[in-house]
Chains A and B, each alone.
Chain A
Amino acid sequence: MVKFIIRRFFELIPVLLIAISITFFMVRLAPGGPFTAEKSFSEEAIARLNEHYGLDKPILVQYGNYLLNVVKGDLGPSFQYPSRTVNEIISESFPVSLELGAWAMLFAIVVGLVSGIVASLRPNTIQDHVPMGIAMTGICMPSFVLGPILILVFGLWLGWFNASGWETASDRVLPVITLGAAYAAYIARLTRGSMLEVLPSDYIRTARAKGLSEKAVILRHTLKNALLPVVSFLGPATAGIITGSFVVETIFNIPGMGRMFVLGAFNRDYTLILGLVVFFALLVVVFNAFVDILLGLLNPKTRQHS
């Protein structure tokens, strides 16, 4: 297991290097620069700013310097927010995205598992059709549609929640549902599917024949095996939920990383975009590795294969 973890760690390096390199050169290909503005700076001012931030050096030198700094853990200053560094911006916005993502994931898992199990117990009855119908709608409905609908109903008509912001505990409810809904729906379908595969197995029949309670059969025996595909979905889903929340963050005005990423791209804030990409890449790789380890623990077969 230790060897497995060490190997995953070394696999991380080339992934990060590729992500940094592609992003580094891509953002510079985009027209305009960080100091392109409507009320234009004078040419001397732009030259001085470029010099100040090292943007006047040959691009390969800039690239080399950037890599060196990343190794040192320094993601550089933000061009657009001169009083803050990229490290600070990430350390401020990541906890917000993490909190939003964690609640959304919890919501997705609880709602997804429960409705998936409920649906699988009486397939092709109303108990199956209703949750699966809702799930299908959930998968199809993008967050930029669901978010405003929830705001309209629960914020404006019923007045239960604020329309946006991240101030009070109740401000978490609508964005968490918006972000988690699609994942809940996906988990519900996955759970139902694999439950239906596992339920007819011989060992389930044996368990029932032994006279175990239905609860024990479902929760202890069926679910444990039926969970495998769900768990392997959780890795990319968790990374996706944390990194892909920028739409939800914009709709609900949440100060998370996704919003910073979009602002960074619009502003050509090279260091901010790069810093966030490095961080996102790290997250995805770590979560995937984590899930691989988890799967290994759940199912020894996977461990042998890898």
Chain B
Amino acid sequence: MNVKAPILLLCATAILASCAKRETPVEIGNREQILHRGIGTEPKNLDPQTTSGMPEFYIQSAVFEGLTAQQPGDSRPVPGTAERWDISPDGTVYTFYIRPDAKWSNGDPVTAGDFVFSYRRALSPALSNPYAYMLYCLKNGEAFSKGDITDFSEVGVKALDEKTLQITLNAPTPYFLRLLKHHSWFPVHPPTILKFGKIDDRDTKWTRAGNLVGNGPFTLTSWEPNRKVVVEKSQTYWDRDTVRLKEIHFYPIDDMHAEEYAFRTGQLHITGETPMERIKHYQENNPDVLKLEPLLGTYYYEINTQRPPFDDVRVRRALALALDREKIVNYVLKAGQPAAYHFTPPDTAGYTAQARIAFNVEEARKLLAEAGFPNGEGFPKIELLYNTHKGHMRIAEVVQQIWKENLNIDISLLNMEWKTYLTQKKSHKYSIARAAWIGDYEDPSTFLEMFITGGGNNDAAWSNPLYDQLLAKAGREMDKTKRFSYFQQAEKILMDEVPIIPIYFYRNKSLVHPAVKNWEPSLMDRHPYKYVYLEADE
């Protein structure tokens, strides 16, 4: 016994000592140019034409490249796979010239025909691409997608020769070049798609590591579900000399606390989220790594305009006017989110709404009294629906309290699991529901078009013919000033009738290791990896 104990102790110490002085993945990464990025949840697939989430996009933007691209911290479109383009005077015909040296990761040249194939696939009814509507600006794009026409040659995409692509739009779409940065416009490699199935098969194995052929700055090396996805620098990419990272490792970490722990133990360079309760700690102790940056998104409450008493615009306005948003952003969120007094986030491609739904308790009480509920008397007991989440709960609790104080009305809180919540909201079985919208592209239309009559995400079931007309006009207008004035008028209607109560504008809340360079703020959370590199400060 006496001999064994010291030996055991020695062994234990040896094991612990060997653990103690280890080099973290981040330290190794800094030396070898390997970026470790947390992406939230497991990507559902890597197919740019069947997915819709950000985790997927983070990987897709490394392995694919669209016709246009962007530079760090600047959302303006720059040449991507296309080296230049011409636009017809009426703004409806775009001619793209594809780079002679653009290649797929297997060495094949990227051709105009590949883009025609890709857009045909993206619009194929059987593929059920959730983002097919992004291509509806193509002439006959919507008709093909809905099966009204079956001949793709009628759609406005044509290969003039091997390297020249002509795109014809329904109407001048001033943000078209920005739109092309979206993953639904990324090209896919036709022979690879056809090797594993038909053009419109959604569940083939073409996106597996070893199968996937892309045209981006990186190629897929491995995909271990729920563990990590690895991409490495492409040897065939046209601009490979710019690419400085050797590899990027993407980690799906669902739990944001686990992700933050991983950041602190040197496993991640970049996290997707920062838990609300950790923000203050970082602000005080490590402000360099906490990146709180504007994101193109709005957090709001949606009101079921069909359900009394909310069919009365005065009641909706009263609730919106009585809401002290500053209290919410300053005491609950505390990460610098701006309070939202209109719907479209400020400075969306140069547009900032002039309409305001102010904080005005007097006016709110007056309206509520006019609607038949003086001092909140007789106001029915209503429920505020939100999906189960600590952050949503805290906001809902504060809103509940603010409305009680300012309007003397009682609302109860109702939380539901995600899909149940969505089902309730989509089937209009709610009174007030928490909602959020992240823009698909930088243009006010991605926000305002939500509320056209019968829109797929218009869960408020709100309708205003003038609003619909204004947006239709904006859709046809080339002149930026006129277009924006239509949006201004539309947003004014939206804020007068308040089918929704904007609460705050989103902020990206990620942790970024100081060694990560060229990682600039981006409204759309887009960080072109080809410019990123790692350099540890000594």
Contact = CB atoms under 8 A, between A and B. Distances in A.
A250 B204 contact: no
Contacts of B132: 42, 45
A301 interface: no
Chain A CB within 10 Å, residue with most, of B22, B205, B265 = B265
A222 B132 CA distance: 72
Interface in A247-273: 250-253, 255-256, 259-260, 263, 266-268
Interface stretch (B40-48, B347-355, B366-374): B40-48
B130 interface: yes
A279 B128 CA distance: 31
A156 B52 CA distance: 35
Contact of B226 (A32, A259, A268): A259
A159 B227 contact: no
B203 interface: yes
Interface of A: 30-33, 36-42, 44-46, 48-49, 52, 77, 80-84, 89, 92-93, 148, 151, 155-156, 158-167, 170, 250-253, 255-256, 259-260, 263, 266-268
Contact of B419 (A32, A148, A167): A32
A163 B265 contact: yes
Given A37-B130, A45-B128, A260-B226, A164 B423 contact: no
A82 B130 contact: no
A253 B20 contact: no
A32 B133 CA distance: 23
Nearest to A49: B128
A272 to B, nearest CB: 12
Contact of A253 (B46, B146, B253): B253
B422 A160 contact: no
A37 B52 contact: yes
A296 to B, nearest CB: 37
A251 B254 CA distance: 9
5 contacts: A36-B423, A45-B128, A82-B202, A164-B262, A268-B419
Given A45-B130, A156-B261, A266-B417, 8 more contacts: A80-B44, A82-B202, A83-B206, A83-B208, A251-B258, A260-B226, A266-B418, A267-B419
Contact of A162 (B226, B265, B424): B265
Interface of B: 16, 19-20, 22, 25, 41-42, 44-47, 50, 52, 125-126, 128-130, 132-133, 146-147, 202-208, 224-227, 251-255, 257-259, 261-262, 264-265, 267, 417-420, 422-424, 426, 456-457
Given A83-B203, A250-B254, A259-B226, A31 B128 contact: no
A71 to B, nearest CB: 22
A160 B20 contact: yes
Contact of A93 (B45, B46, B225, B423): B225
B422 A36 contact: yes
A164 B22 CA distance: 15
Chain A CB within 10 Å, residue with most, of B45, B226, B267 = B226
Given A40-B456, A81-B44, A165 B419 contact: no
A36 B426 contact: yes
A268 B417 CA distance: 11
Nearest to B252: A253
A1 B207 CA distance: 49
B29 to A, nearest CB: 13
Contacts of A166: 227
Contacts of A259: 226, 254
A121 to B, nearest CB: 14
A48 B125 contact: yes
B255 A253 contact: yes
Nearest to B267: A162
Contacts of A83: 45-47, 203-208
Contacts of A81: 42, 44-45, 225
B22 to A, nearest CB: 8
A148 B257 contact: yes
A45 B456 CA distance: 12
B262 A159 contact: no
A32 B44 contact: no
Contacts of B267: 162-165
Contact of B423 (A32, A92, A151): A32
A1 to B, nearest CB: 40
A40 B133 CA distance: 11
Contacts of A44: 125, 146-147
B73 to A, nearest CB: 27
B422 A32 contact: yes
A44 B133 CA distance: 13
B20 A159 contact: yes
